[in-house]
Amino acid sequence: MTDTDPLVRFSGVRKTYGTFEAVKHLDLDIGRGEFVAIMGPSGCGKTTTLRMLAGLEEPTAGEITIDGKRMNEVSAHDRDTPLVWQSLALFPFLNVKENVEFGLKMRGVPKPDRHGRAMLWLERLGLKGFETRRIDQLSGGQRQRVALARSLVTEPRMLLLDEPLSALDAHLVIRMQGVLTRLQKELGITFVYVTHSQSEAFAMADRVVIMGHGEIAQIGKPQEIFRAPKNRFVAEFVGRNNILPGKTPGQEIVVAADRMQVSASDPGEGALPAEFLSEEFAGTGIICYFEGPEGVELKAQVTEDQLENLAPEPGQRFWLTWAPGAAHVMAGT
Ligand code: ADP
Ligand code: MG
């Protein structure tokens, strides 16, 4: 074992429920200290994947190793892979500190040591002063931080998180994203973070694994996936992309909406004629929707000033162009 060997390896992992294939074939390495997000639409097999890593489901085929050791038959309890999820049940009959100490108590850690470690984690998670609070006296964000402290107090090699922020308000989500990324970098432990939310995955992870229908559709750094989606599934799932026919038969190209230019007059060769349909205010600009050749939907992101100048009316004809460097050729399905 060297430091460059992966911490986790899924090799040909498959999981079926009866005749249904929840995970079809998974090959995935996760490095030490990496923050990996597994992102995909609901039902694509994310939770199943995480639960297999946690030891809560057994793979139907294939192998999962941690530190080079086969884990398939190892119980969740013996894996050191705590799992935090959205509605992680804290014990209502224990106070904050007792909840955090629980895992240490189960491991027979003596009381003074338990106390010190629990207090350290409560402080790290900004929960100092809340030790004796009851769980029902905490906000959603505070509960989630207690849940994190409870999972981290045993200092596991990795933490598994399944949509941990999905029950929180938008402003809390942003704050907790910051808490989680800082914590992960400070501790240097591996995070495997499952989410259906693009913004969460792209904001936090070193590497993103896009899953669709029980398979990996693409793995890469957030920027790579965003700018160079490998196939139609990824292009449609992430970002606001235009998918257009390429130069050779069967080839498809992707042009991001924010790299599409809109002209009110025909600029000549290569411009796509398109009828304006509607506009939508997005945080970073305005997305204009068009109907292009053969009924294909096209999108362009414009600024408020550009929108004012264009003053588009539904049904009005425009021309869409993009710089050669803005088109990314997809490798194929
Ligand atoms: P995700 O977390 O990506 O939303 P899941 O991993 O929970 O997806 O589920 C993947 C698929 O497997 C879904 O279609 C789900 O209905 C199915 N599934 C999950 N758990 C079971 C189970 N215990 N029995 C039967 N089907 C299941
Ligand atoms: Mg899930």
Q: What is the pLDDT along the chain (333 residues), one digit of tens a residue?
A: 566 789 999 999 999 999 999 999 999 999 999 999 999 999 999 999 999 999 999 999 999 999 999 999 999 989 989 888 876 678 889 999 999 999 899 889 999 999 999 999 999 888 999 999 999 999 888 998 999 999 999 999 999 999 998 888 888 889 889 989 999 999 999 999 999 999 899 999 999 999 999 999 999 999 999 889 999 999 999 878 999 988 888 889 999 999 999 999 999 888 999 999 999 998 779 999 999 998 999 999 999 999 999 999 999 999 999 998 999 999 765
* Residue 147, Cβ density class (10 Å: 0-12 exposed, 13-18 middle, ≥19 buried): buried
Q: Is the CB of 19 under 6 A from ligand 1?
A: no
Radius of gyration, CA atoms only, the chain: 24
How many angstroms does the Cα of residue 125 sit away from the middle of ligand 1?
32
How many angstroms does the Cα of residue 44 sit away from the middle of ligand 1?
8
Beta pairing, strands 207-212 & 215-220: antiparallel
Question: Best mutation site among 16, 26, 42, 48 for ligand 1, i.e. most ligand atoms within 8 A of its Cβ?
Answer: 48
Helices (H), the chain: 46-54, 96-106, 111-124, 140-152, 170-187, 198-204, 222-227, 232-237, 304-310
How many angstroms does the Cα of residue 16 sit away from the middle of ligand 1?
9
Domains detected in the chain:
8-227 (3.40.50.300), 241-331 (2.40.50.140)
Ligand 1, atom 17, lies closest to the CA of: 22
Ligand 1, atom 16, lies closest to the CA of: 43
Q: Is the CB of 38 under 6 A from ligand 1?
A: no
Which residue is listed with tokens 């160079």? 228
Q: Say how far apart CA 207 and CA 29 lie, in whole Å.
A: 11
Which residue is listed with tokens 């408020």? 304
Kindly report the pTM of this predicted structure.
0.89
Atom of ligand 1 nearest to the CA of 45: 6
Looking at residue 6, the DSSP 8-state letter turns out to be -
pLDDT of residue 206: 96
How many angstroms does the Cα of residue 17 sit away from the middle of ligand 1?
8
* Residue 314, Cβ density class (10 Å: 0-12 exposed, 13-18 middle, ≥19 buried): exposed
Q: Is the CB of 13 under 6 A from ligand 1?
A: no
Q: Is the CB of 43 under 6 A from ligand 1?
A: yes
Provide the 3-class DSSP secondary structure of residue 167. Answer: coil
Cβ burial 245-257 (10 Å sphere, 16+ → b, else e): eeeeeeebbbbbb
Angle at 44 between CA 42 and CA 48, to 5 degrees: 100
pLDDT of residue 248: 86
pLDDT of residue 175: 87
Q: Is the CB of 195 under 6 A from ligand 1?
A: no
Specify which residues 103 forms β-bridges with: none
Q: Say how far apart CA 128 and CA 119 lie, in whole Å.
A: 7
Contact 159, 191 (CB under 8 A): yes
Ligand 1, atom 27, lies closest to the CA of: 17
Q: Say how far apart CA 42 and CA 200 lie, in whole Å.
A: 15
How many angstroms does the Cα of residue 132 sit away from the middle of ligand 2?
33
Residue 218's φ and ψ, nearest 5 degrees, are -170, 145
Q: Say how far apart CA 303 and CA 332 lie, in whole Å.
A: 32
Q: Is the CB of 229 under 6 A from ligand 1?
A: no
Ligand 1, atom 6, lies closest to the CA of: 45
Provide the 3-class DSSP secondary structure of residue 176. Answer: helix
Residue 287 identity (one-letter amino acid):
I
pLDDT of residue 88: 67
Strands lying side by side in the sheet with 261-263? 261-263, 317-321, 272-282, 285-291, 297-302
Name the token pair of 261: 């230019």
Name the token pair of 150: 């409870």
Atom of ligand 1 nearest to the CA of 41: 3
